[in-house]
Chain A
């Protein structure tokens, strides 16, 4: 006896997966689904563009550790999810996306709003499905959530033809999944772990390189224990920020193109690198041939394909980071490495992050430092992509996992505002701050409406330099200051915020920064701050693309070069 429509089975399945909130945008092919959602105990956040739905689900997932869910209709609705899914895929974020589809009888006929979204998303999802029979629906949803959250997490898309949503079947939610081709390895090989421990205990200059995998597997505590127990300094990737407390003396903050000089020096001089849940991305390694030339590499990762992909690994351990570290920690001895730690201290003293403070114009680094002072541990920082992102990564002291939400692998401009929607919905009692640039902000600013109508108290800080800052920085440094297509003629962001009913203010004076930030943070509701910053402020240090990470340009050096050039002229 058929008892449920496909749409009803969809809702029941989501409830079994303990989904509390979905981000979506309705359309013709998902009306039956929305009709069921109308009465369901699931919160629906109506975004203003499907890309926003995908990013919001992603921000929700990163900040809560749960699976983020987004819904779009077929055709343009589905294709608008693509950038969001690709973003989640590159950073291993568990998201399940549901898309409407033309009825099965019309598939393949180029019918209205029909698109092969499964084909389109093949390379940017961990897995995807099209459900062609309502009897498979519950099982497919079960598998989709299971695949998204287990192993190396990632986005999964389920395409739902509208007739499947309308036809009926029994609702049987399977207890288990049966996927013979999907057997992630969770426990690391003990012999390998022992070898790793031995390599760590006998090394003179080890460095831990922690990435997003530490956060994904909730292993920050283990990571911290290991570092302290072994007295091993820690660098992180952009995705790993927050996995190790940055106020700890063993923290060297971020590595790579815009990492700290001391992190890059430490990696370059290390005799052992313990890569934990990282993928040795090119933004981190710089020129591969010169990356960590003296080091043996231990690599702990749940994805075997990451081993030896970019960097030659000497001791691979495939497994869940938390499980592996649990076994590894007891084998680690506290080794005195005073010389190494002294050297690192020296580098830290000699090459700190620095910028030139200015009374007259607001230095973005100064603003972020102030923000860091004013925020407590209960803060989630969400960024856009570009200079704003790098300044945030550099000048905020992250002490907790899931406190920094940013698009790393894909570098998606327009990510931050919708992601902060998701982060705020998932963390109603935390302060969610979107650090933004004027360029990125305008890529998804329609989500101001979502923030406003849902009364989400997100604090939006637009670092407004009237330009695509990071591209301009490259143009300045490597393209003879030919500023091709990087000047933005911006609208009045304060008026824009106000048009959406959001408290908005502009700050232009260094003196006003602290007062304005306090005002915004204390305000019970969303705030948009248009912060006018100098156009020529650049992110330092910097490793030029394709260079060795030891060859960092820093503020002092570039200034010196400028002076030298002046002398010559």
Chain B
């Protein structure tokens, strides 16, 4: 099972090492980890995707809480969260294929960010599935390079339930 944790931590040196070290030391399987400053500069927020059963998840959360630098842990509910992954994809693409590629990019609401004579580079954001699907299609053209951020996610605000997709 995949679990998504949003973890608020002190924005201090060695915090990332503490967290990632905890995962490796306790043999927890980490799928992705993202970190960046929050609305308050003294805190960072991490989006951690963990794989494991509910017992593992319980231990992950409790062990994380033991770290002095961990302020708050929220387990995000798959059905009620906003999740985004971003990828930059460099694809082999001569003049003749440009139209085709750009068509796909439009469908996926991606953005072309660079051209060369025989490549095209696209920025794409969305949930993981969308990006996986986009990359699959691009494979036909020949992918030169992919870079992905991994997941960032946040709880949806419940009281003004406006969808923002």
Binding site for B on A (CB under 8 A): 118-119, 122-123, 126-127, 130, 147, 179-182, 303-305, 307-309
Q: How far is the CA of A126 from the CA of B22 in the complex (A)?
A: 12
- CB of B68 within 8 A of CB of A179, answer yes
Which residues of chain B come closer than 8 Å to A179, judged between CB atoms?
68
Which residues of chain A come closer than 8 Å to B17, judged between CB atoms?
119, 122
- CB of B68 within 8 A of CB of A127, answer yes
Rounded to whole Å, the gap between the CB of A167 and the closest CB of chain B is 19
Which residues of chain B come closer than 8 Å to A180, judged between CB atoms?
71
Q: Which of A118, A123, A181, A304 contacts B62, CB < 8 Å?
A: A304
Rounded to whole Å, the gap between the CB of A150 and the closest CB of chain B is 11
Rounded to whole Å, the gap between the CB of B9 and the closest CB of chain A is 8
Rounded to whole Å, the gap between the CB of A277 and the closest CB of chain B is 16
- CB of B14 within 8 A of CB of A118, answer yes
Which residues of chain A come closer than 8 Å to B13, judged between CB atoms?
130
Q: How far is the CA of A119 from the CA of B21 in the complex (A)?
A: 10
List B residues 52-66 near A (Cβ within 8 Å): 55, 58-59, 62-63, 65-66
Kindly report which residue of chain A lies nearest to residue B22, judged by CB atoms.
Answer: A123
Q: How far is the CA of A123 from the CA of B19 in the complex (A)?
A: 10
- CB of B21 within 8 A of CB of A122, answer yes
Which residues of chain A come closer than 8 Å to B21, judged between CB atoms?
122-123
Which residues of chain A come closer than 8 Å to B14, judged between CB atoms?
118-119, 122, 130
Of residues A118, A122, A181, A182, which shows the largest number of chain B Cβ atoms within 10 Å of its Cβ?
Answer: A181
- CB of B68 within 8 A of CB of A303, answer no
| Interface flag for B125 (CB, 8 Å) | no
Which residues of chain B come closer than 8 Å to A130, judged between CB atoms?
13-14
List B residues 23-75 near A (Cβ within 8 Å): 25, 55, 58-59, 62-63, 65-71
Q: How far is the CA of A47 from the CA of B62 in the complex (A)?
A: 38
Which residues of chain A come closer than 8 Å to B70, judged between CB atoms?
181
Rounded to whole Å, the gap between the CB of A409 and the closest CB of chain B is 15
- CB of A182 within 8 A of CB of B68, answer yes
Rounded to whole Å, the gap between the CB of B108 and the closest CB of chain A is 40
Q: How far is the CA of A147 from the CA of B68 in the complex (A)?
A: 9
Q: How far is the CA of A182 from the CA of B72 in the complex (A)?
A: 10
| Interface flag for B18 (CB, 8 Å) | yes
Q: How far is the CA of A161 from the CA of B90 in the complex (A)?
A: 46
- CB of A305 within 8 A of CB of B18, answer no
List B residues 66-91 near A (Cβ within 8 Å): 66-71
Rounded to whole Å, the gap between the CB of B13 and the closest CB of chain A is 8
Bin the interface of chain B by size.
20 to 34
Kindly report which residue of chain B lies nearest to residue A119, judged by CB atoms.
Answer: B17
- CB of B25 within 8 A of CB of A305, answer no
Kindly report which residue of chain B lies nearest to residue A309, judged by CB atoms.
Answer: B59
Rounded to whole Å, the gap between the CB of B141 and the closest CB of chain A is 44
Q: How far is the CA of A253 from the CA of B134 in the complex (A)?
A: 65
16 A–B contacts, CB within 8 A, in A order = A119-B14, A122-B14, A122-B17, A122-B21, A126-B68, A127-B68, A130-B13, A147-B68, A180-B71, A181-B67, A181-B69, A181-B70, A182-B68, A304-B62, A307-B62, A309-B59
- CB of B68 within 8 A of CB of A308, answer no
Q: How far is the CA of A303 from the CA of B9 in the complex (A)?
A: 20
Contacts beyond the supplied A123-B25, A180-B71, A304-B62: 7 A-B pairs with Cβ under 8 Å = A118-B14, A119-B14, A123-B21, A126-B68, A181-B71, A303-B66, A305-B65
- CB of B63 within 8 A of CB of A181, answer no
Kindly report which residue of chain A lies nearest to residue B67, judged by CB atoms.
Answer: A181
Which residues of chain A come closer than 8 Å to B71, judged between CB atoms?
180-181
Q: How far is the CA of A76 from the CA of B130 in the complex (A)?
A: 52
Which residues of chain A come closer than 8 Å to B55, judged between CB atoms?
308
Q: Which 7 A-B pairs have the closest CB atoms?
A: A305-B62, A181-B71, A127-B68, A182-B68, A123-B25, A304-B62, A122-B21
Q: How far is the CA of A181 from the CA of B70 in the complex (A)?
A: 5
Q: How far is the CA of A126 from the CA of B13 in the complex (A)?
A: 16
Which residues of chain A come closer than 8 Å to B65, judged between CB atoms?
304-305
- CB of A122 within 8 A of CB of B59, answer no
Which residues of chain B come closer than 8 Å to A181, judged between CB atoms?
9-10, 67-71
Q: A181-B68, A308-B58 are in contact. Are A122 and B63 (CB under 8 A)?
A: no
Which residues of chain B come closer than 8 Å to A123, judged between CB atoms?
21-22, 25
Rounded to whole Å, the gap between the CB of A86 and the closest CB of chain B is 12
Q: How far is the CA of A309 from the CA of B22 in the complex (A)?
A: 15
Kindly report which residue of chain B lies nearest to residue A182, judged by CB atoms.
Answer: B68
Rounded to whole Å, the gap between the CB of A189 and the closest CB of chain B is 16
Which residues of chain A come closer than 8 Å to B68, judged between CB atoms?
126-127, 147, 179, 181-182
Kindly report which residue of chain A lies nearest to residue B72, judged by CB atoms.
Answer: A181
Which residues of chain B come closer than 8 Å to A305, judged between CB atoms?
59, 62-63, 65-66
Kindly report which residue of chain A lies nearest to residue B9, judged by CB atoms.
Answer: A181
Which residues of chain B come closer than 8 Å to A126, judged between CB atoms?
68
Rounded to whole Å, the gap between the CB of A402 and the closest CB of chain B is 25
Q: How far is the CA of A130 from the CA of B21 in the complex (A)?
A: 18
